[in-house]
Amino acid sequence: MSGRSLQGPQSLQGPRALARLTALSSVLALAAFLAGCAPQEAQPVFHAERNPATLAEWRLLQIRAGVLGPTDGVIPYELNTPLFSDYAHKLRTVWLPAGTRAGYGADGALQLPVGSILSKTFYYPRRDAGNAAGASQGALRATAEAIGVLAGGRLVLDQVQLIETRLLVQRAQGWQAVSYVWDDSQRTARLQRVGEIIPLELAGIGKFDYVVPDINQCAACHATDVKRATLAPIGLNFRHLDREHDYGGEVGQKNQLAHLEQLGLLDVAARAESASSGGSRAALWGDESASLEARARAYLDINCGHCHNRQGPADTSGLALDAAETAPIALGVCKSPVAAGRGTGNKKFDLVPGRPDESIMVYRLAAHDPGEMMPELGRSLVHREGLELIRRWIAEWPGAPGCAQEASNSARQSASSARLSRSQG
């Protein structure tokens, strides 16, 4: 009896248990199917040798619900004073391979490991923000206002026009440049090896040719040491990165260097060493609360200093405009040009204290002709606001104006040296 009483319930429960297991399996299968259909967070892919045909294959950026932003592990960043590029705005990102971290070089430049990728997406705010992506490019804005930008540098695509994304890839043989141009739909950016000219129009400025550089043109700016002749990032430096950025979410507003350190991507001790060795935060060129001296030097540093430094491609000019330079003569004060050709505008000195209209520096910043303008690459338009900043800087130079009297030049150079030394403190 006891055996049968045990056997009976088991025979009744078997089919029920099987039914419950079948139902549970169906639920789990459905959950797995739905999870597979859900959008997965993309992970960046380092291509050690080839440059893929589309930007998407790097998996650095992704589009979700009409917003372009960095993928998981890709960190957005900004510069205190950015390079002028025909009024284009830029979404900058950095990615390091898992388990690696960056350090600092002697000049405060971040040293990134092999496998690292920098991206810079150029875009313009739309004048008709709110219209569908892919609308006419004839209504773009030349404004410093961050239109269509969300926390973390993410871009609302119906408020901006994407132009191109440039990559600097740290491969075993060194940094290499790659450019991708966005299509009109703003869905795909395709590899562009030989450069491209894109006709654009900015409200209040007019039509111009936006130039996507080829590989050789990238090297013209990024080969900052003429002897080594290798490419290097320009803005990835302590002085340019030492600022707040809104990362959104739980992180919120935070110092960029501190954020990289907290993520384990940057050597903490190295930052203190870099600061103690003379590194200092670059001013925001448009920040009226900063000194005119600091703003002008920051502007010249980022726009001109990568070529005009004592190791750069323009070292033979005798003009050094990077942040480390303090010698007045190297900054062009009452210095005759070495090899400017017709770029002098028939003026005698690079920088004439108190007289911007007599200064070659101002003439070249205001020039449109490729044989006269500075910088030589990276712009088709004149940066009106930047030009005015440099004009004011020269106009307010201390001491007697002009370079006519040799006897007074010695005193002027001393006054200039004192001014420049104070700006580095």
pLDDT tens-digit readout, 244-262: 999 999 999 999 999 999 9
Do residues 230 and 262 share a domain?
A: yes
* Euclidean distance between CA atoms 106 and 100, whole angstroms: 20
Is 331 a residue whose pLDDT tops 80?
Answer: yes
Instruction: Answer yes or no: is 172 within a domain.
Output: yes
**Can you give the pLDDT at residue 20?**
57
Do residues 183 and 299 share a domain?
A: no
Do residues 336 and 370 share a domain?
A: yes
Final residue before a domain boundary, out of 276, 311, 342: 276
Q: Which of 360, 367, 366 is nearest to 317 (CA)?
A: 360
Structure tokens at 137: 């490019």
**Can you give the pLDDT at residue 222?**
57
**Can you give the pLDDT at residue 27?**
44
Segment 33-39 mean pLDDT: 46
Phi, psi of 285 (to 5 degrees): -60, -30
Is 18 a residue whose pLDDT tops 80?
Answer: no
Do residues 96 and 176 share a domain?
A: yes
Segment 172-188 mean pLDDT: 95
Instruction: Answer yes or no: is 327 within a domain.
Output: yes
Is 367 a residue whose pLDDT tops 60?
Answer: yes
Instruction: Answer yes or no: is 32 within a domain.
Output: no
**Can you give the pLDDT at residue 232?**
84
**Can you give the pLDDT at residue 340?**
60
What order of strands is seen across the sheet that includes strand 155-156? 61-64, 67-70, 155-156
Instruction: Answer yes or no: is 365 within a domain.
Output: yes
CB-based contacts of 376-382 (< 8 A; 24+ apart in sequence): 376/220, 377/213, 377/217, 377/220, 377/221, 378/83, 378/84, 378/85, 378/213, 378/221, 379/84, 379/85, 379/86, 380/86, 380/208, 380/209, 380/210, 380/211, 381/86, 381/87, 381/202, 381/205, 381/208
Do residues 187 and 219 share a domain?
A: yes
Beta carbons of 297 and 284 less than 8 angstroms apart: no
Instruction: Answer yes or no: is 34 within a domain.
Output: no
Query: Which residues lie across from 120 on neighbouring strands?
Result: 92, 166
Final residue before a domain boundary, out of 247, 276, 305: 276
**Can you give the pLDDT at residue 316?**
77
Q: Which residues contact 204 (CB under 8 A, 6 or more apart)?
A: 142
Do residues 271 and 369 share a domain?
A: no
Number of domains, the chain: 2
Do residues 155 and 264 share a domain?
A: yes
Instruction: Answer yes or no: is 272 within a domain.
Output: yes
More confident residue, 116 or 225: 116
Do residues 250 and 344 share a domain?
A: no
Final residue before a domain boundary, out of 232, 247, 276: 276
Beta carbons of 74 and 94 less than 8 angstroms apart: yes
* Euclidean distance between CA atoms 388 and 305, whole angstroms: 19
Is 28 a residue whose pLDDT tops 70?
Answer: no
Do residues 200 and 249 share a domain?
A: yes
* Euclidean distance between CA atoms 279 and 241, whole angstroms: 11
Segment 46-57 mean pLDDT: 96
Phi, psi of 159 (to 5 degrees): -115, -5
Is 421 a residue whose pLDDT tops 80?
Answer: no
Q: Which residues contact 94 (CB under 8 A, 6 or more apart)?
A: 74, 75, 77, 112, 116, 117, 118, 119, 236
Do residues 170 and 249 share a domain?
A: yes
Phi, psi of 310 (to 5 degrees): -70, -10
Instruction: Answer yes or no: is 393 within a domain.
Output: yes
Is 9 a residue whose pLDDT tops 70?
Answer: no
Is the pTM higher than 0.85? The answer reads no
Mean pLDDT of the chain, nearest integer: 83
Segment 86-107 mean pLDDT: 94
Do residues 221 and 302 share a domain?
A: no
**Can you give the pLDDT at residue 274?**
56
Q: How far is CA 366 from CA 244, 344, 363, 421, in A?
A: 32, 12, 5, 28
For the segment 277-330, what is each residue's pLDDT rounded down to a tens digit?
Answer: 446 899 999 999 999 999 999 999 999 988 888 877 777 788 999 998 999 999
**Can you give the pLDDT at residue 32?**
46
Is 44 a residue whose pLDDT tops 50?
Answer: yes
Structure tokens at 340: 């400017």
Does 97 sit behind a cis peptide bond, omega within 30 degrees of 0 on the bond before it? no
Do residues 115 and 216 share a domain?
A: yes
Domain that holds residue 156: 55-276
Residue type, 358: E
Instruction: Answer yes or no: is 64 within a domain.
Output: yes
**Residue 236 DSSP SS3:** coil
Structure tokens at 93: 């990102």
Beta carbons of 316 and 305 less than 8 angstroms apart: no
**Can you give the pLDDT at residue 379?**
86
